[in-house]
Amino acid sequence: MGVLEKEFFNSAFVSYFLASCFNIGHLIWLKEKLGQWAIGLTVLGFVVNTLALVSRTQQAGHIPFANMYEFGMAFVWGIILFYLYIAYRYKNYSLGTFILPVAFVLTGIFSSFYQEARPLMPALKSNWLLFHVITAVIAYGALAISFALAMMYLWRLRIENAGEQEAFMSRLPSLETLDTLANSYIHFALPFLTLLIVTGAVWAEYAWGSYWRWDPKETWSLITWLIYGIYLHGRVSLGWRGKKAMNWVVVGFITVLFTFIGVNILLPGLHSYAL
């Protein structure tokens, strides 16, 4: 079963990669068929990603959240779920050009941290940890979408400022729409990002007898929350819009990635088991 689960996740990687290629082709050559192939491959990737999660759950005997590989499977799954919702609601494939490369790169990274399924260690046997991981999947998935929207905004802005008139521009949402959508996903994500920290603190008290120990993971989770908090404060109080706001969104998601991946590798602490 372990081999099958890994093959499912690797198949998701291939599907997301091919979907990215078709998405780019759709945007360049404006062929509707390429967009349909891209969304079909994305759905296929989502299905095998889901099968990988189910297979891992059956093998391990618990929801997959015990290490970086397992959470990575769920993280990518959440990103694609949000993307498919946007593609279905707005009937627009262009966001896939920016979000699918993120998905397949993360899938490749997480695959490299593969571990055989094993029973939960005592510190992880808590329902609070389950809530902690669920809020992380929702928050990080939504923030990944906001990042893709911000990158699309900055790309479109650069083309417009250069005075170029590309045919594919008609397929991209307007700058105002991209700014609004990116902001709405951050508004959606921040409460879950807050719950991520709160549930993590409650679980830490259960596991280690202390709500907060300034562990590198805890510290960088707080830094991530502060960056997005500054972003929202800037929009409300200082009128941040456009390029400045989108740059903050990009920085925020880079911080998310460092908090989840970089801290685990470079700054070992109480969460070192997550590798």
- Model confidence over 228-268: pLDDT tens digits? 999 999 999 999 999 999 999 999 999 999 998 888 888 76
Q: Is the pLDDT of residue 172 over 90?
A: no
Q: What is the per-residue pLDDT for 123?
A: 66
Q: What is the per-residue pLDDT for 2?
A: 57
- The average pLDDT across 9-34 equals 92
Query: Distance between CA atoms of 46 and 63, rounded to whole angstroms?
Result: 18
- The average pLDDT across 12-22 equals 96
Q: Where are the alpha helices (DSSP H) in 91-208?
A: 96-111, 127-161, 175-208
Q: What is the per-residue pLDDT for 270?
A: 57
Amino acid at 63: I
Question: How many CA atoms are closer than 13 Å to the CA of 4, on its beta-carbon side?
Answer: 10
Q: What is the per-residue pLDDT for 271?
A: 57
Which of 198-202, 204-208, 209-213 has the largest mean confidence? 198-202
What percent of the chain has a predicted confidence (pLDDT) above 90? Answer: 59
Q: What is the per-residue pLDDT for 1?
A: 45
Per-domain residue ranges of the chain: 1-119, 121-275
Of the pLDDT bands very low, low, confident and very high (cuts 50, 70, 90), residue 106 is very high
* Separation in Å, CA 34 to CA 23, 173, 194, 213, 234: 7, 19, 39, 51, 39
- State the CATH architecture for 1-119: Up-down Bundle (1.20)
The sign of the torsion formed by the CA atoms of 78, 80, 83, 87 equals negative
Q: Is the pLDDT of residue 120 over 80?
A: no
Query: Distance between CA atoms of 153 and 147, rounded to whole angstroms?
Result: 10
Q: Is the pLDDT of residue 173 over 80?
A: yes
Q: What is the per-residue pLDDT for 30?
A: 82
Of the pLDDT bands very low, low, confident and very high (cuts 50, 70, 90), residue 272 is low
Of the pLDDT bands very low, low, confident and very high (cuts 50, 70, 90), residue 274 is low
Q: What is the pLDDT of residues 155-168, one digit of tens each?
A: 999 999 988 777 77
Average pLDDT, the chain: 89
Q: Is the pLDDT of residue 36 over 70?
A: yes
Of the pLDDT bands very low, low, confident and very high (cuts 50, 70, 90), residue 55 is very high
Of the pLDDT bands very low, low, confident and very high (cuts 50, 70, 90), residue 176 is very high
Q: How far apart are the first and last CA of the chain?
A: 21
Q: Which residue has the higher pLDDT, 197 or 63?
A: 197
Amino acid at 79: I
Of the pLDDT bands very low, low, confident and very high (cuts 50, 70, 90), residue 170 is confident
